[in-house]
Chain A
Amino acid sequence: MSADANSSVSAFASASLAERAYRSTQISWTGLRVWFHYQVLSWWDKLCRRDPDARDLHAVHQKNADLIFRTAVTLRGMLVKMCQVIGTRSDIFPREYVSVLSQCQDRLPAREFASIQQVVEEELGKPIESVFTEFETTPVAAASLAQVHRGQLVSGETVAVKVQYPDIEHIMHTDLTASRRIAAIYARFSDNPIDFLPLLDELQTHLRMELDFRREVESADRVRDFFAHDQDVRVPRVFEEFSTRRIITMEFVAGAKPNDLSELHAAGIDTRGFMLRLMRIFNRMILAHGFFHADPHPGNIFVTADESGKPVFTLLDFGLSKQLPRGFGMGLFELMFSMMTFNESAMLRAFRELGFETRKGDDDTLLYIAKRMISRSDTGSFQGEFTEDMTDEMFDAVRESPIVKVPTDFVLVARAFSLLSGIGHAIGQRGNALDAMS
């Protein structure tokens, strides 16, 4: 196993310069095509003396989003991560981009095992056989930064080992440099540019943190502590002695998907009050503890049954965890409450407490955004559930009113609530945050 691994790794190293040049060219080419698709329409409108603002851009947004998605899936690595982040920023990007790019989930082709084995051995400082009696060479999941292998420790526990790709830091550098270049060109030639550079800065900071797996372990530990006495929640045990900056060794868990009713029933899970329980968990993290798992898509939550059939939720992947500012939970609660009663002055106070800003400090824009959001609810009033339709509508309104600054924390929380609402709708229940409190 070792000799093969070494030859593969050296071949990979010699190819890495060419690979970086290839990535850089592909990213720039994609960026140029995206820009060109918009520009052609703009030139055509000018030629025909039409108002470019009146044009419906849905088709071209969709075409460009698909193009970026294809490039990301081909190049993988950091570009997929960037797409995932864009997929969370409904406040900045058109709905078509968010919808397509948020699909860049954990379904990527696996890396060859030799490079993975090298990382494991480098990080643990010993041969893989001395730690694991079994280590499956085919991963159970492969994502943008890492892939996960099932194994068994010498001590007998079955574990999941998350291993970072060996070249990911170089790829991050290459992709970010290329993206910055495209953003600069875009800013130079676009009539009404979105300022992508702060977003790229934020992305870079976020990715650096996410590449240090020790931080993810700390996040999991924090959430495990929050629910130490709560039988409804589990966070897999991490084997600290076999976890480092680039690998995490944790207890292997399996369970039903929370958005698949037949799977839940087959697992003997009593689904009465299912969403109330799940919302209560996220309410506690977001509103009470001020630290939360910000990516509750169905792949990150496994459900098992306790001895009486009640659901037990196992939370996975704490890479996107977020510390919220002090007072955020109370501010969010006040916003939800004032939206429920449509108390305008209380709503405005809550918006400001949460960090919403308007360029001229006008209240009407904030109220307009809230009204548009509420108008998309199933009942015509806000009862405590941020459905996907409502958050989409809210962020459409935000994008159309560039004078509004929405705090990133709020964007992530709204997205988390809307993902939970999506899980609820898939099983015929509501993901209502206020219901889960009362």
Chain B
Amino acid sequence: MTQHVAIDQREFSFDELMTDDQFEESLVTNEIRCHGGYIDGEYVSPRGALRRPAIRNWRDRLRSEDQPLITIPEKYVPPNYPNYDQAKYLLQEGVVEPITRALTTIAIVEGFGARIREVSVPDFDTEIEESIEGTAVAHLSSGLFEAHARDEAGHRDQGGHKQMWEAARDAGLDRPEIPDDVLLRLMSGGPPAARKRLYPELSERMESMLLMMTNVLVIETFAEDTFNWAKKLLGDAEVSADPQRAAHLVDCIARDEVPHVDYLTVALSELRTRTLIGADGKTTLSGANVVDGVFRRQLRGMATVRPQQSRERSQADIHQAVSDKHRASSIARRFEELDSGWSFPHCDDEELDVLLKSA
């Protein structure tokens, strides 16, 4: 399935990182041809023929240098809200709107993942002391970001995760009516506040790139629970119109996300092993300190405040949707009984340390 790549090959061209496997059949859904395809009846992710071995080789190099990989502790991953039992109960009671809204929002947010191609990378030659030859970092702007963007939003005649989530929603919920307020809710937050620099010694580009990469890695890691939730819910024959198809599509998306988590993990771990040079060309900072610091900052918001607010908003939306139903109070009561709860991690820098595991 995977093209033969020598274990010491660590330089790849843009075109190589975009290369697909030799698919025997395409993935077509909702009359849209999506990316990826089938080999021996098994779904294979797009742009993987050389991207997969490339990431593997970069990771192996870290291992050979005895360097650790960053990883996000599982205890910080918030469970999807509503949980599977709650969501299934809502569908059984005909309260489809909150689930449709959630799946549509996921599709749109996935599509915005294409924005990663607009990250402007710093001048690594002048801003990193050591060589980055043969690393994932060296390939960020020459294929890895672009491949990621194409996976999320689709490219030319191929749909990406945006279209696949929409198709999974339409298959599972039988082409539900899309709530009018999906875009309104997406835009309901205020404009982004002016960001305070974390490491003013670094160039703005270097800091922005690190923030973007850590942000996406946290989102991708947190999404794992959402994939499991969606696969189980849309694959449940009691509530899904086309359980096989819907669950399969979610599974395909989940598989496609693996290389995203992998390359971001490897690239950020590589940066931990380097010395970063400040914008003045003289100041130096340890990559490990900077990457860990940025991670802590991201996790502090993303693992605590944001899921809490998101959960509260969803809970209010669901109760609003339930209130229109006959037997509203008993549905609301049962819905709350099914809540498995979750205690949000304490917001403390020391506790939010990013664990390191062996590469």
Contacts and interface: CB of A to CB of B under 8 A. Distances in A.
A280 B187 contact: yes
A20 to B, nearest CB: 47
Given A270-B194, A345-B33, 20 more contacts: A272-B194, A273-B191, A280-B187, A283-B187, A287-B187, A288-B183, A329-B183, A330-B178, A330-B183, A337-B162, A341-B153, A343-B155, A343-B156, A343-B157, A343-B158, A345-B31, A346-B154, A346-B163, A437-B112, A438-B112
Contacts of A280: 187, 191
Given A232-B191, A276-B191, A437-B187, A341 B154 contact: yes
B181 interface: yes
A356 interface: no
A325 to B, nearest CB: 11
A438 to B, nearest CB: 5
Contacts of B159: 343, 346
Given A273-B192, A287-B183, A333-B183, A438 B115 contact: yes
The winner among A287, A340, A341 for most chain B CB atoms within 10 A is: A341
Given A287-B187, A346-B32, A326 B157 contact: no
Contacts of A288: 181, 183-184, 187
Contacts of A333: 108, 183
Contacts of B162: 337
A437 B32 contact: no
Lowest 9 CB-CB distances: which A-B pairs, in order? Answer: A288-B184, A438-B112, A288-B183, A287-B183, A341-B153, A277-B191, A341-B154, A343-B154, A342-B156
Nearest to A283: B187
Contacts, number: 71
A230 B162 CA distance: 30
A376 interface: no
A344 interface: yes
Contacts of B112: 434, 437-438
Question: For this complex, into which size category does the number of interface residues on chain A fall?
Answer: 20 to 34
Contact of B192 (A276, A344, A434): A276
Given A272-B194, A273-B194, A277-B191, A284 B178 contact: no
A224 interface: no
B182 interface: yes
18 contacts: A232-B191, A273-B191, A284-B187, A287-B187, A288-B184, A290-B180, A327-B180, A330-B182, A330-B183, A337-B153, A341-B155, A341-B160, A342-B155, A343-B155, A343-B157, A343-B159, A343-B163, A346-B159
B186 interface: yes
A371 to B, nearest CB: 12
A341 B181 CA distance: 24
A270 B114 CA distance: 29
B259 interface: no
Contacts of B243: none
Interface string A271-306: 011001100100110011110000000000000000
Given A287-B183, A330-B183, A345 B157 contact: yes
B191 A289 contact: no
